[in-house]
């Protein structure tokens, strides 16, 4: 009886060994499958699933925002970085209409657009109003020129040149496609433009070169075209899933760096949610300008323009009204 009772025990050893070997084989097999078909990176999946709607709830109506680009490094700087030196001026003006049911609309206005304000003896460029009354005075002048609805623009955003560079560098770079090589050097400002033509990735300092370039033969048109090129690139870049997740911290960083605005953080994210929802459908409109007046032949050659001063331009008197029609929201 004792001999028969030891027999199951002797059999148990080989059985356990076979089970252990089978388990090891299963583990190796699963490991091989994991190597062939690795588990997806969950953080990557989350990035790929991000959309502008994840930033915040979009506004319930269209909102107009006046964007003012200064010729100083930051809005709080007492002096510009231009020639001749002096208080900061608005060097670029964009009016944005963010519509939650339609495309982002952009109206570009030249900084040398002629305006006449009470208390001034003669017209002056709209960009120079910044040194007289800040964004509020420019907003009033833009509203009157464009014939906006009462209370518009709803908000303003003031960027210095350093702010623009920080925005681009915060995204890493942006893809832009200048139509040709751009070259310019200004020793009085210590500023050089040296950009190749063609599709490329541009860092912040290169984007600054692009937005500041003027073609001598068509200064206003070329400057506005470059602004459009950069804004399109910024919208496309910010709308990428890998960048959407960093826009909250980036906007907070830019505010600390000196970006001036009357937008709250919640409003900023809400407008980004709407404005980035259709990155390929941005619609640009330029203010129609009258042709520069030609001096009569007996007047002789025109006097040379002062350095850093552009001749004032007028709105074309035959331009259709309103200058900036709103797009009917899509159902």
155 in Cβ contact with 163 (< 8 Å): no
3-state SS class at 265: helix
Quickly tell me which residue has 């009354």 as its tokens.
133
How remote is the C-alpha of 80 from its chain's centroid? 22
Q: Is the peptide bond before 246 cis (omega within 30 degrees of 0)?
A: no
* pLDDT tens figures, 205-241: 999 999 999 999 998 899 999 999 999 999 999 999 9
161 in Cβ contact with 70 (< 8 Å): yes
> How far apart, in whole angstroms, are the C-alpha atoms of residue 26 and residue 68?
65
Mean pLDDT calculated for residue range 44-68:
87
pLDDT of residue 175: 97
pLDDT of residue 311: 87
- Under the banding of pLDDT at 50, 70 and 90, the label for residue 306 is very low
323 in Cβ contact with 288 (< 8 Å): yes
Which domains, ranges and CATH numbers included, belong to the chain?
54-288 (3.40.630.190)
Burial class (CB in 10 A: 0-12, 13-18, 19+), 299: exposed
* pLDDT tens figures, 264-286: 999 999 999 999 999 999 999 99
> How far apart, in whole angstroms, are the C-alpha atoms of residue 267 and residue 256?
17
* DSSP annotation of 306: P
127 in Cβ contact with 89 (< 8 Å): yes
Q: Is the pLDDT of residue 293 over 60?
A: yes
- Under the banding of pLDDT at 50, 70 and 90, the label for residue 308 is very low
Quickly tell me which residue has 């090891």 as its tokens.
24
CB atoms within 10 A of CB 168: 22
pLDDT of residue 258: 82
254 conformational bin, left if phi > 0, alpha if psi -120 to 50, beta if neither: alpha
3-state SS class at 33: helix
CB atoms within 10 A of CB 107: 21
206 in Cβ contact with 188 (< 8 Å): no
293 in Cβ contact with 268 (< 8 Å): no
> How far apart, in whole angstroms, are the C-alpha atoms of residue 160 and residue 235?
19
pLDDT of residue 43: 47
189 in Cβ contact with 287 (< 8 Å): no
Strand 155-159: give its sheet, edge to edge: 260-261, 155-159, 63-70, 90-98, 105-109, 283-286
How remote is the C-alpha of 283 from its chain's centroid? 14
Burial class (CB in 10 A: 0-12, 13-18, 19+), 169: middle
Listed in sequence order, the residues at least 6 apart from 265 whose beta carbon sits closer than 8 Å to its beta carbon are: 248, 251, 252, 255
Q: Is the pLDDT of residue 54 over 70?
A: yes
pLDDT of residue 264: 96
CB atoms within 10 A of CB 249: 10
């Amino acid at each position: 009886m004792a001999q028969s009772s030891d027999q199951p025990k002797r059999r148990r050893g080989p059985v356990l060994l076979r089970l252990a070997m089978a388990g090891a084989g299963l583990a190796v097999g699963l490991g091989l499958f994991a190597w062939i078909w690795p588990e997806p990176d969950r953080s990557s999946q989350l990035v790929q699933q991000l959309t502008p709607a994840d930033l915040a709830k979009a506004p319930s109506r269209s909102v107009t925002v006046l964007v003012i680009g200064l010729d100083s490094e930051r809005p709080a700087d007492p002096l510009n970085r231009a020639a001749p030196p002096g208080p900061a001026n608005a060097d670029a003006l964009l009016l944005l209409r963010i519509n939650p049911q339609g495309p982002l609309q952009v109206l570009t206005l030249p900084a040398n657009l002629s305006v006449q304000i009470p208390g001034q003896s003669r017209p002056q460029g709209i960009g120079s109003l910044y040194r007289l009354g800040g964004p509020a005075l420019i907003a009033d002048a833009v509203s009157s020129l464009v014939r906006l609805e009462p209370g518009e623009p709803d908000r303003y955003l003031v960027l210095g040149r350093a702010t623009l560079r920080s925005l681009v560098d915060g995204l890493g770079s942006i893809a832009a496609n200048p139509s040709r090589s751009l070259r310019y050097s200004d020793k009085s400002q210590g500023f050089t433009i040296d950009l190749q033509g063609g599709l490329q990735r541009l860092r912040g300092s290169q984007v600054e070169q692009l937005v500041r370039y003027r073609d001598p033969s068509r200064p206003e048109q070329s400057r506005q075209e470059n602004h459009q090129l950069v804004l399109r690139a910024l919208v496309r870049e910010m709308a990428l899933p890998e960048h959407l997740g960093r826009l909250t911290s980036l906007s907070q960083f830019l505010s600390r760096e000196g970006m001036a605005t009357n937008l709250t953080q919640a409003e900023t994210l809400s407008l980004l949610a709407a404005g980035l929802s259709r990155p390929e459908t941005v619609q640009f409109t330029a203010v129609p300008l009258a042709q520069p007046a030609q001096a009569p032949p007996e007047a002789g050659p025109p006097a040379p323009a002062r350095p850093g001063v552009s001749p004032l331009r007028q709105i074309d008197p035959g331009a259709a009204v309103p200058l900036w029609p709103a797009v009917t929201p899509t159902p």
